[in-house]
């Protein structure tokens, strides 16, 4: 007989706060040493409420740790050329060490063309093909790793989860989360299976994993029987589901059925308060790393 476990909560909000404290001290050191602060440029196109909220939160988090934030808000019908001009100007601006173009972009704009235009030295989202390519290669290190998967790995590391020699399942294969998360786990010497919409026996395969990263964008898809007894579970999903009893009329759930999975997992992230706050903390981390490299290179000239 197996006794149902009750998982330990991985507190992303608290871990993100700790990281922001560490970054604040690093930024103060940079200021001391070079007399300059890191700068982050955030480009927002259109009026999506969720994007506006994320961008606002990112700028606020920057200010808290001493990163200078620059912002450009463009109308929904801005041309691709105009957006590319904004990116080019930030590429050339020595006060800017990181450029983030908030996604998704309106349909008339070629997203990949815009992301490709960001200088790889300022690609704090880590979405440039050259950064992703380096992430995929043994013996190479990208300048930047995408923030959400980087945050997932940081949560595992700071929670004492061993990855080397373990089986990991990544549910979802998106360019911004699933694919880079699988590459990161592989770099930590885990044996990784990527599960996607065409995977036969997804539940059975997932239930063999010691580590699960769920990023499929489907509310509560990873049910209790997808989770091996004692597994560590990282839930990337943020799905709004109708809930008349909630103040806003909806509540947020992850891609994991939390109630069921926490009976099986040894450790698990909540939604909200798990991966989300870490995504922002890793954006700040990337920005500080980029500025540190640039300041050192400038001082060596």
Ligand X SMILES: Nc1nc(=O)c2c([nH]1)NC[C@@H]1CN(c3ccc(C(=O)N[C@@H](CCC(=O)O)C(=O)O)cc3)C=[N+]21
User: Is residue 267 among the annotated active site residues?
Assistant: no
Choose the stretch contacting ligand X; rule: CB under 6 A; options: 69-77, 153-161, 181-189, 269-277. Answer: 269-277
Q: Which residue is at the shortest CB distance from ligand X?
A: 276
Contacts of 210 (CB under 8 A, 6+ apart): 166, 167, 168, 228, 230, 231, 232
Residue 297 Cβ, how far from ligand X at the closest point, in Å? 25
Of residues 4, 16, 1, the one with CA closest to residue 225: 4
Is residue 238 a contact residue for ligand X (CB under 6 A)? yes
Determine the Cα–Cα distance for residues 51 and 12; give it in Å rounded to an integer.
21
Question: What is the number of other CB atoms lying within 10 angstroms of the CB of residue 145?
Answer: 25
User: Segment near ligand X (CB under 6 A), from 67-75, 164-172, 272-280, 289-297?
Assistant: 272-280
Q: How far is the CB of 34 from ligand X (least distance, A)?
A: 27
Q: Which residues lie below 8 Å from residue 179, measured CB to CB, with a gap of 6+?
A: 132, 173, 194
CB of 55 to ligand X, least distance (A): 9
Subset of residues 43 to 72 that bind ligand X, contact rule: CB under 6 A: 54, 57
| C-alpha–C-alpha distance, residues 119 and 114, integer Å | 11
| Contact (Cβ atoms closer than 8 angstroms) between residue 228 and residue 191 | no
Task: Indicate the residue among 30 and 153 with the shorter CB distance to ligand X.
Answer: 153
Residue 276 sits in the site that holds ligand X (CB under 6 A)? yes
Contacts (Cβ under 8 Å, ≥6 apart) of 276: 12, 238
Contact between 280 and ligand X by CB under 6 A: the answer reads yes
Cβ atoms of 268 and 230 within 8 Å: the answer is no
The reply on whether position 102 binds ligand X by CB under 6 A is yes
Report the residue number, 102 or 292, with the smaller CB distance to ligand X: 102
Q: Which stretch binds ligand X (CB under 6 A): 24-32, 95-103, 133-141, 227-235?
A: 95-103
For ligand X, what does the binding mask look like between residues 133 and 172, x meaning CB under 6 A? Answer: --------------x-------------------------
Question: Burial level of 50, CB count in 10 A (0-12/13-18/19+)?
Answer: exposed
Q: Does residue 9 touch ligand X according to CB under 6 A?
A: no
User: Is 32 among the residues known to form the active site?
Assistant: no
DSSP annotation of 276 reads H
Q: Contacting ligand X (CB under 6 A), which of 66, 180, 277, 290?
A: 277
**Residue 75: other Cβ atoms inside 10 A:** 10
Annotated catalytic residue within 11, 122, 123, 125: 125
Indicate if 141 belongs to the active site: no
Least Å from the CB of residue 148 to ligand X:
6
Cβ atoms 39, 67 nearer than 8 A = yes
**Residue 56 CB partners (closer than 8 Å, separation 6+):** none
Which position among 71, 106, 224, 273 is part of the footprint of ligand X (CB under 6 A)? 273
Q: For residues 111-140, which are near ligand X according to CB under 6 A?
A: 125
Alpha-carbon span 96 to 162, nearest angstrom: 37
Q: Is residue 111 within 8 Å of residue 52, measured between CB atoms?
A: no
Positions marked catalytic: 58, 102, 125
Binding site for ligand X (CB under 6 A): 54, 57, 100-103, 125, 147, 238, 252, 271-273, 276-277, 279-280
């Amino acid at each position: 007989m197996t006794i149902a476990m009750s998982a330990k909560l991985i507190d992303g909000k608290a871990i993100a706060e700790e990281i922001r404290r560490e970054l604040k001290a690093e930024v103060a050191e940079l200021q001391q040493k070079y007399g300059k602060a890191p700068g982050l440029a955030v480009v927002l196109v259109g009026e999506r409420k969720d994007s506006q909220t994320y961008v606002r939160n990112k700028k606020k988090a920057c200010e808290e740790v001493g990163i200078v934030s620059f912002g450009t808000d463009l109308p929904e019908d801005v041309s691709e050329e105009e957006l590319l001009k904004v990116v080019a100007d930030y590429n050339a601006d020595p006060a800017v060490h990181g450029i983030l173009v908030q996604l998704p972009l309106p349909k008339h704009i070629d997203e990949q063309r815009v992301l490709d235009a960001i200088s790889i030295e300022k690609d704090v989202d880590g979405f440039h093909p050259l950064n992703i390519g380096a992430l995929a290669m043994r013996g190479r290190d990208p300048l930047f790793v995408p923030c959400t998967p980087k945050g997932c790995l940081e949560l595992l590391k700071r929670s004492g989860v061993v990855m080397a020699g373990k089986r990991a399942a990544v549910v979802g294969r998106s360019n911004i989360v699933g694919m880079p998360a699988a590459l990161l786990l592989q770099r930590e010497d885990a044996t990784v299976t990527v599960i996607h919409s065409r995977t036969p026996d997804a539940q059975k395969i997932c239930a063999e994993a010691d580590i699960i990263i769920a990023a499929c964008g489907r509310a509560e898809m990873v049910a209790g029987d997808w989770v091996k007894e004692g597994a560590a579970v990282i839930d990337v999903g943020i799905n709004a589901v109708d809930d008349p009893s909630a103040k806003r009329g909806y509540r947020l759930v992850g891609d994991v059925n939390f109630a069921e999975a926490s009976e099986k997992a040894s450790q698990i992230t909540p939604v909200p308060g798990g991966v989300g706050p870490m995504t922002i903390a890793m954006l700040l981390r990337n920005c500080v790393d980029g500025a540190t490299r640039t300041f050192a290179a400038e001082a060596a000239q």
